[in-house]
Chains A and B, each alone.
Chain A
Amino acid sequence: MKSENTKAQMRKGILEYCILEILSKRKAYAPNIIEEMKKARMIVVEGTLYPLLTRLKNAGMLSYRWEESLQGPPRKYYELTPDGEKVLAELKMSWNELVNGVETIRKSS
């Protein structure tokens, strides 16, 4: 049970970074993002994503535009704001630092 907690914590911390990464390549609406996240086994259920998107948007890192869809209601397409791009650059750096840090620890004997 404890290990599952830790795993969830680890994943949770980088979810926002992953979303920013995905959106830095192209604008997307929620199911696109979910698809990529699922592929990467970052999340399992879509419900997890929506609060994150809203939070990032409210923090000014994302903006969205409504686009008509052929099926169903119009879709919210998200893209990065300049602020978001700045944060992404920061997160990218700290992620690299983390990965390097962990690697260093694992390799040192």
Chain B
Amino acid sequence: MKKTLTINISGTVFHIDEDAYDQLKNYLSKISDHFRKEEGGHEIINDIEARISEIFSQKTGTTNEVVTVTMVNEIIQIMGLPEDFEAFDEDNSFEQEMKTHNTSGGYVRQNKRLYRDTESMVFGGVCSGLSHYLKMDKILVRILFIILIVVTSGAAIPAYIILWIAVPKARTTSQRLEMKGEEINVGSIGKSVKEDFSEMKDHSDKYKNSKEFTKEKEYDRQTVQNRHYDGEKTVNVFTKILGAIFLFIGIVSLVGLLVGAMATTRLMSFLPNFFGNSTGLFINHFYSGSFVTTLVISIFIIAGIPLLLLIYAGTKMLFNYVANSRNVILSALGVWIIGIIIATGSILGAIDVFSAEASISDKSIITNIPDTLFIQIDSLKFNDLSETKYEFNQLMIMMKGDEEVLVSRPKFTIEPTNEKTIALKIKKTSRGNNYREAKKNAEEISFQFVQNGSTLLFDPFFTINEQGKWRSQGLKIILEIPEGKVVYLNNNLLPVIHDIKNTTNTWDGDMIGQFWTMKPEGLTLSK
């Protein structure tokens, strides 16, 4: 389905597709720009419109067919672009007239445009096109561009690609003439801007002077023309300055973004190198690599697209080339929205992996304890681990040789029981996408203890599966002590001891290195 507009060309009504309308409008405004300044220009434009109207009438016939892009293209082919008749027109009587009659010293400067020079291209002919525009040597422009790429650590590459996509190639002779700008003797943009400025000044001076002599109608007409001219020049100068600012900000921010992205990944992966050597990213212990990559890329898209558009706008303002801005902006917007959708999706997914909780318990009976039970951490276990690299919440990442090991401290507590025997309950908890996933994560927790005579030895840490991700796993050691039994808490229990209730309300840290008896009223310090 297509939207159709109704237009009136030279008194005849036509239905026209929206895209065809845009193209026709664009074409007609080019035509009228071209002839506007000419004497009798209005009449020429009317003649051309009448002819277009006639051709459309013949094509659409009596059935009132809709005018399509193809028809508009045919029209353009038949009538030709202003550039095509400029090739005939150059130095024509009209411009001569302008030059001699326009006493204010202004002359009609043919627009120099940026095109890609595909006749001497390496990739897309952008540099050779720029060399024509800037009147510099091709090789020099290329070398400068390579330097720019190196200096900006690659951020100039997207700028090149934007120009490659957006700048048209010089196809026709007149486009090649425009590209080379043989009609104008402007050395560089800087010079042209300077010229524009001085012309502006001249014009306003002349305008002021002429105001005093403004008796003749001729002069009136001219001052109006001059003012119009001044307006155009002002716009021209400011557009170029604004374009340069846009381009600068765009490239600088893109460099910033790249450097920032690199710095962040480096910070996450290399900063711990100051403490020990590492291989992976911190975040890899939470999420799979593909998730991290997706998130980083989508964030890059979200932040980068506006910058690329800024660069595009900057180059367009600075170099004056013809391009279909609507398509460029629409496709950029599309990519940007996709970026947002992907980022939102992955962030929601990231939150989701913590949504369900599950726990599993395992109870062992401890026998052959005559009277006193000694409890301590097995200091021989995990002694091949170097010091902690990170500590995050309860998660600890430690180094085993060159490998990172994910560990966490268990929590040890003592509770009274009515049973006659001592029992050890291990409760493993974890989170996950859903209950099954959470339970699986809990099952993958590994933790060991051994009984050696009347001594219980615990692992100092519990570990999760090697490929496993951190899902807020936890492990609780609950020692159930019947009345009358005595426990000795070794000094090395300090890191794991957690909230043991006792009659004297002694703080956990002060309970170690002491004998404690289970009495009917609770754990009591033995003298």
Contacts and interface: CB of A to CB of B under 8 A. Distances in A.
Q: Which 8 A-B pairs have the closest CB atoms?
A: A45-B80, A72-B57, A72-B54, A47-B80, A48-B85, A47-B79, A54-B40, A50-B47
B306 interface: no
A26 to B, nearest CB: 19
B80 A1 contact: no
Tell which of A9, A11, A15 has the most Cβ of chain B within 10 Å: A9
Given A45-B78, A46-B78, A47-B48, A8 B88 contact: yes
Nearest to B78: A46
A58 B51 contact: no
B39 interface: yes
Interface string A1-19: 1001100110110010000
Interface in B185-218: none
B82 interface: yes
Interface of B: 10-12, 31, 35, 38-40, 43-44, 47-48, 50-51, 53-54, 56-58, 77-82, 84-85, 87-94, 173, 176-177, 180, 182
A46 B44 CA distance: 12
A76 B10 CA distance: 13
Given A12-B92, A76-B47, A69 B54 contact: yes
Contact of A73 (B54, B79, B81): B54
A71 B59 CA distance: 10
Contact of B51 (A8, A12, A30, A54): A30
Contacts of A4: 87, 173
A101 interface: no
A44 B177 contact: no
Nearest to B50: A73
Given A1-B177, A54-B43, A73-B53, A48 B84 contact: yes
9 contacts: A1-B173, A1-B180, A44-B80, A45-B78, A47-B79, A51-B35, A54-B40, A71-B57, A75-B50
Given A12-B92, A75-B54, A45 B40 contact: no
B80 to A, nearest CB: 2
Contact of A8 (B78, B80, B87): B87
A8 B177 CA distance: 13
Contacts of A75: 50, 54
Interface residues of A, number: 29
B66 to A, nearest CB: 17
A102 to B, nearest CB: 21
B192 to A, nearest CB: 22
A81 to B, nearest CB: 16
A50 B12 contact: no
A44 B39 contact: no
A46 B74 CA distance: 12
Interface string A53-88: 111011000000000010111011000000000000
Nearest to A64: B47
B88 A12 contact: yes
Tell which of A15, A51, A55 has the most Cβ of chain B within 10 Å: A51
Interface in A13-51: 15, 30-31, 43-48, 50-51
Contacts of B38: 51
Given A4-B173, A55-B40, 6 more contacts: A43-B88, A45-B81, A46-B78, A51-B44, A72-B10, A72-B56
A3 B93 CA distance: 21
A15 to B, nearest CB: 7
A12 B56 CA distance: 29
A12 B77 CA distance: 20
Contacts of B182: 1
A100 to B, nearest CB: 26
Contacts of A47: 31, 48, 79-82, 84-85
B51 A1 contact: no
B88 A48 contact: yes
A46 B79 contact: yes
Tell which of A11, A53, A72 has the most Cβ of chain B within 10 Å: A72
Contacts of A73: 10-12, 50, 53-54
